[in-house]
């Protein structure tokens, strides 16, 4: 109903409703009231069958009466008496804070609000500028509530998935659930949701401290920035001005109101270990990621001496919880048993579901996000070379350079015999620069031929590209060869200074580099191992190039998701000036990552003790100081056994085991065997401490521990080696779009055409072969319908997918210059999809011949001027569909006027329709 048609009382109610809503009250009718909500019930039933205009409830107890009048009412004594009578006579089936008393009274007419606290009966009414919030009312009556002060959440500015997640989370904690899981697609605002949940619990409940657990240190840095600048607060103040927010880097940071940390650093503080504020966080992140990918982590145990109480945090938010909450670190979260735990992930695992008791407060998939326009869809482009598919050969006499990963020392030699290696050895054991060169050359060629043929070929503005490498050395090789491959496209034979850069733990400022990748035009290719694998937001990124395979399903989903973020056209053009829009992103697969089987990582079971799991170098140091405990001996046994196994029968590096055995007179396996035998036969006395006599234990390992060169060689063998050869040239086998992905795309597209053949006019006409010209407005309707179904359903993308799966030459190449954006391509696509045409050919092909046939019809003659007029109209029709003379007037008034003058109005319109039939008939 329009505001002007409302009665005076109704106009006042509209304003009062807004005042209550702004204060955080849910306005509901009597039959809509739900428990545990901060609700303002309209026309609430009171004693004597009367009704209060609004009765406000917190924690299911009536806290306030609001008496509403029309704007002209001065809210005098009669209104006060009426409201106070309600306050003193609540229904006996309403919960109350005080016996037979509703403590607060408000009088409102839409312009003014008066308030009185009935707990102070002799007090006067006070005029207010705004209605009190649930939190303020509780404070006025001296009461507290665990969750009752949580106000209504305004949906404005929130995505639907964020709003639903927060509402369901709050409902969940009110119901007593300790764990909640929010599954939100990459890019849908998980950290913003975390900030929202944090603020509402700190501001409106008894929560005093919140912990946000990030998966990586660089993500913790990003999270702190977002928490500090979050300003969806009562007075739009930034959260950093309301609460202390610290990223856990030193012991005192744990005292902040909002603590942001990795779980590793939290574990250190919890168990009393010293935190050092150093610059090694990137290395720590990459080391942890490599361990996780190799499933080397072992379950930690907390022990008895802990330095934080179990109720220290009231809310723990676990970002990327598919990895953080199970396996190695679960005991840390289990310890803080009093806290509510909110898990955030885009890729839940069975363990994550189980940990959160299957309590999903939201499930918003990547597919949902694409439909909603939050993310863009992906397309797969496959590059295959001989080496990546089949491995290679190091021939006898080939010059090989072997590099130690531990020391960096290089040894050059000639292979004494032929060495075959499989594709899995590439860039781990064998670095073949020519294979890297072939992949990058194929990618460079694809950029402006296959991926972005519509863009102006400017090599300084190739699409922002993220390349995943196997390790830091591989990343270095990729950077060097990328500079070489792209150099020939620049006038001076050299790429710009920041064109391609490495973002790994060895980079000086990884966070600065990530920031530059987002914003700087001259930074086009980033090469990383893991630092940009999860959580990092780089919206202008358009290509994710895999040069490493990934077996973990969750990690792969996270990695490829770096490219899916939506970016508005203007922002994209700021960093990629020759771009038009980001309608999708490309996964360029150079290793078969899109085809390999993926696994969901399983929790790793450890030894079940609280002893530290030392790396080998630290372990050898501790053993040398007589700390020969059972755990340390067992760990050395495992290290030695694993190292020995890696080098036995290894055609590339087995010589290192031979060297070890021949030089030192024993093998790593010898040490492992001695330790195992001693325990099997129960030969060892108990271990007490390093200060005691541990001769029998030390005798098992003294051959290694007492030999410094042997220890160094063992450490070198553990880190491993790789060989580099330039004498094993690679060859490109295939570069093109994935046929499997294209077929799936076409299947879905054709299903949409079949489902809508009766509801979309252009589809109906083509499907039923009706003798009706397809008009411009019909094609616009069809285009808009397709794009609303999927942003991928542009004529160009559909045509290109048909071309990928075409095996018999039935699909022409689309002319990127002539009619790349032609709407009439949709006519031909639909005809092909409905099997009306056997070939997919653009209407512009043969267009001149059909136009000449129109002009040369028998029994008519067109003047040169008329032919020129119709030729100009034909250029529009062949690209955008048939139009009427009236529509031409809107498009080109001068051309319309010339046509009317030359043909006369009735004839002109008929001529346009006749010509359209010639031009748009099946080609």
Mean pLDDT (the chain) is 88
pLDDT at 601 over 80: no
pLDDT of residue 186: 84
Specify the range with the lowest mean pLDDT, choosing from 430-444, 459-473, 816-830. Answer: 816-830
Instruction: Return the percentage of the chain with pLDDT > 90, whole number.
Output: 58
CA separation, residue 918 to residues 282, 439, 462, 821 (Å): 66, 47, 41, 21
Q: Which residues sit opposite 599 in a β-bridge? A: 552
pLDDT of residue 289: 57
pLDDT band (50, 70, 90) for residue 723: confident
In tens, the pLDDT along 796-826 reads 889 989 999 999 999 998 876 667 678 999 9
pLDDT at 827 over 90: yes
pLDDT of residue 511: 78
In tens, the pLDDT along 644-660 reads 998 988 888 999 999 99
What SS3 state is found at 543?
Answer: strand
| Contact between 718 and 643 (Cβ < 8 Å) | yes
From first CA to last CA, the distance across the chain in angstroms is 55
pLDDT at 424 over 80: no
* Nearest one of 373, 364, 455 to 817, comparing CA atoms: 455
Mean pLDDT of 246-270: 93
Mean pLDDT of 252-263: 94
pLDDT of residue 609: 40
Q: Which residue has the tokens 């015999």?
A: 417
Mean pLDDT of 481-495: 95
CA separation, residue 338 to residues 263, 325, 341 (Å): 18, 16, 9
pLDDT of residue 402: 87
DSSP 425: G
Specify the range with the lowest mean pLDDT, choosing from 475-479, 696-700, 730-734, 896-900. Answer: 730-734
pLDDT at 237 over 80: yes
Distance CA 889, CA 601 (A): 64
Specify the range with the lowest mean pLDDT, choosing from 412-416, 507-511, 800-804. Answer: 507-511
Distance CA 739, CA 800 (A): 11
Distance CA 555, CA 322 (A): 10
Cα 320–chain centre separation? 10
pLDDT of residue 599: 59
pLDDT of residue 286: 58
Distance CA 912, CA 888 (A): 10
| Contact between 479 and 501 (Cβ < 8 Å) | yes
pLDDT band (50, 70, 90) for residue 290: low
pLDDT at 279 over 70: no
| Contact between 200 and 160 (Cβ < 8 Å) | no
Specify the range with the lowest mean pLDDT, choosing from 6-15, 193-202, 257-266. Answer: 6-15
Residue bearing the bigger pLDDT, 560 or 481? 481
Distance CA 778, CA 795 (A): 15
pLDDT at 606 over 50: no
| Contact between 467 and 528 (Cβ < 8 Å) | yes
pLDDT of residue 533: 58
Distance CA 490, CA 492 (A): 6
Residue bearing the bigger pLDDT, 561 or 299? 561
Specify the range with the lowest mean pLDDT, choosing from 119-128, 143-152, 189-198, 364-373. Answer: 364-373
Helix runs in 768-794, H state only: 776-789
Mean pLDDT of 668-672: 94
* Nearest one of 98, 131, 146, 137 to 117, comparing CA atoms: 137
Mean pLDDT of 836-848: 89
pLDDT of residue 604: 39
Q: Which residue has the tokens 């009427």?
A: 884
Mean pLDDT of 261-279: 81
For 531, how many CA atoms within 13 A lie in the half-sphere containing its CB?
30
pLDDT at 923 over 60: no
pLDDT band (50, 70, 90) for residue 300: confident
pLDDT at 292 over 80: no
pLDDT at 76 over 60: yes
pLDDT band (50, 70, 90) for residue 830: very high
Token pair in block for residue 806: 């075409």
Specify the range with the lowest mean pLDDT, choosing from 150-159, 256-265, 722-731. Answer: 722-731
What SS3 state is found at 549?
Answer: coil
pLDDT band (50, 70, 90) for residue 603: very low
The number of beta carbons lying within 10 Å of the beta carbon of residue 378 is 19
What SS3 state is found at 506?
Answer: coil
pLDDT band (50, 70, 90) for residue 414: confident
Helix runs in 545-666, H state only: 553-560, 569-575, 616-624, 630-647, 654-664
pLDDT at 579 over 90: yes
| Contact between 486 and 499 (Cβ < 8 Å) | yes
Residue bearing the bigger pLDDT, 462 or 219? 462
pLDDT at 475 over 70: yes
DSSP 494: S
Distance CA 597, CA 552 (A): 9
pLDDT band (50, 70, 90) for residue 729: confident
pLDDT of residue 420: 81
């Amino acid at each position: 109903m329009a505001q002007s048609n409302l009665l005076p009382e109704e106009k006042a109610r509209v304003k009062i409703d807004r005042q209550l809503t702004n204060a955080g009250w849910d306005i509901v009718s009597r039959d809509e009231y739900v428990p545990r909500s901060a609700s303002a019930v309209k026309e609430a039933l009171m004693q004597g069958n009367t009704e209060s205009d609004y009765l406000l409830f917190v924690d299911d107890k009536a806290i306030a009466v609001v008496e509403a009048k029309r704007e002209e009412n001065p809210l005098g004594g009669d209104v006060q008496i009426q409201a106070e009578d309600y306050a003193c006579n609540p229904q006996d089936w309403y919960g109350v804070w005080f016996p037979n008393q509703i403590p607060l009274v408000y009088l409102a007419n839409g312009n003014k609000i008066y308030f009185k606290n009935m707990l102070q009966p002799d007090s006067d009414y006070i005029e207010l500028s705004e209605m009190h919030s649930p939190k303020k009312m509780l404070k006025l009556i001296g009461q507290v509530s665990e969750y009752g002060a949580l106000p209504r959440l305004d949906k404005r500015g929130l995505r639907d998935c964020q709003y639903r997640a927060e509402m369901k989370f709050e409902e969940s904690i009110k119901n007593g659930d300790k764990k909640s899981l929010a599954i939100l697609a990459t890019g849908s605002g998980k950290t913003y949701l975390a900030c929202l949940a944090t603020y509402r619990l700190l501001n409106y409940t008894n929560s005093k401290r919140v912990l946000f657990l990030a998966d990586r240190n660089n993500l913790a840095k990003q999270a702190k920035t977002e928490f500090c600048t979050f300003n969806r607060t009562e007075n739009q103040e930034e959260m950093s001005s309301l609460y202390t927010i610290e990223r856990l880097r030193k012991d005192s940071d744990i005292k902040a109101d909002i603590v942001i940390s990795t779980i590793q650093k939290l574990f250190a503080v919890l168990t009393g270990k010293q935190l050092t504020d150093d610059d090694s966080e990137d290395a720590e992140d990459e080391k942890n990621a490599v361990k996780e990918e190799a499933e080397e982590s072992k379950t930690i145990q907390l022990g008895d001496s802990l330095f934080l109480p179990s109720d220290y945090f009231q809310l723990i938010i676990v970002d990327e919880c598919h990895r953080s909450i199970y396996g190695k670190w679960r005991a840390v979260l289990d310890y803080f048993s009093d806290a509510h735990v909110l898990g955030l992930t885009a890729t839940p695992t069975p363990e994550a579901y189980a940990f959160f008791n299957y309590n999903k407060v939201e499930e918003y998939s990547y597919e949902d996000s694409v439909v909603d326009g939050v993310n863009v869809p992906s397309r797969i482009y496959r590059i295959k070379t001989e080496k990546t598919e089949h491995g290679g050969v190091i021939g006898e006499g080939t010059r090989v350079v072997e590099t130690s990963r531990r020391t960096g020392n290089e040894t050059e030699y000639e292979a004494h015999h032929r060495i075959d290696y499989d594709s899995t050895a590439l860039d781990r054991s064998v670095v073949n620069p020519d294979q890297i060169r072939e992949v990058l050359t194929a990618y460079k060629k694809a950029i402006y031929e296959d991926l972005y043929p519509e863009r102006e070929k400017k090599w300084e503005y190739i699409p922002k590209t993220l390349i995943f490498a196997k390790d830091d050395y591989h990343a270095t090789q990729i950077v060097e060869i990328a500079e070489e491959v792209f150099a020939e496209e620049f006038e001076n034979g050299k790429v710009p200074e920041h064109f391609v850069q490495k973002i790994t733990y060895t980079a000086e400022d990884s966070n600065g580099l990530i920031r530059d990748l987002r914003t700087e035009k001259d930074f086009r290719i980033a090469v990383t191992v893991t630092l940009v694998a999860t959580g990092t937001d780089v919206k202008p990124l358009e290509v994710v190039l895999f040069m490493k395979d990934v077996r973990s399903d969750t990690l792969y989903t996270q990695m490829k998701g770096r490219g899916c973020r939506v970016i508005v056209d203007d922002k994209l053009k700021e960093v990629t000036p020759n771009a038009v829009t980001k309608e999708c992103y490309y996964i360029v697969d150079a290793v078969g990552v899109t085809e390999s089987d993926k696994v969901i990582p399983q929790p790793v079971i450890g030894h079940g003790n609280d002893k530290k799991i030392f790396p080998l170098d630290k372990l050898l140091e501790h053993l040398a100081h007589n700390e020969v405990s059972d755990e340390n001996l067992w760990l050395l046994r495992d290290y030695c056994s694993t190292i020995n196994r890696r080098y036995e029968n290894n055609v590339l590096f087995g010589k290192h085991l031979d060297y070890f055995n021949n030089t030192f007179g024993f093998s790593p396996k010898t040490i492992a065997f001695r330790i195992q035998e001693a325990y099997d036969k129960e030969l060892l006395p108990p271990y007490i401490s390093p200060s005691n006599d541990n001769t029998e234990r030390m005798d098992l390992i003294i051959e290694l521990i007492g030999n410094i060169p042997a220890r160094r060689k063992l450490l070198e063998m553990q880190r491993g080696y790789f060989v580099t050869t330039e004498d094993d040239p690679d060859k490109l086998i295939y570069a093109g779009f994935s046929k499997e992905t294209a077929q799936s795309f076409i299947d879905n597209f054709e299903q949409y055409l079949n489902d809508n053949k009766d509801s979309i006019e252009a589809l109906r006409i083509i499907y039923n072969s009706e003798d009706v010209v397809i008009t411009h407005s019909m094609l616009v309707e069809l285009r808009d319908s397709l794009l609303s179904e999927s942003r991928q359903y542009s004529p160009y993308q559909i045509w290109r997918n048909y071309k990928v799966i075409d095996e018999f030459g039935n699909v022409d190449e689309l002319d990127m210059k002539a009619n790349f954006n032609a709407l009439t391509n949709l006519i031909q696509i639909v005809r092909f999809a409905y099997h009306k045409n056997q070939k997919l050919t653009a209407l512009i092909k043969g267009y001149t011949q059909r136009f000449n046939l129109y002009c040369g019809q028998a029994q008519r003659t067109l003047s040169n001027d008329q032919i020129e007029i119709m030729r100009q109209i034909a250029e529009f029709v062949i690209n955008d569909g048939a139009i009427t003379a009236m529509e031409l007037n809107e498009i080109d008034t001068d051309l319309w006027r010339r046509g009317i003058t030359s043909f006369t109005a009735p004839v002109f319109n008929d001529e346009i329709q006749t010509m359209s039939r010639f031009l748009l008939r099946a080609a």
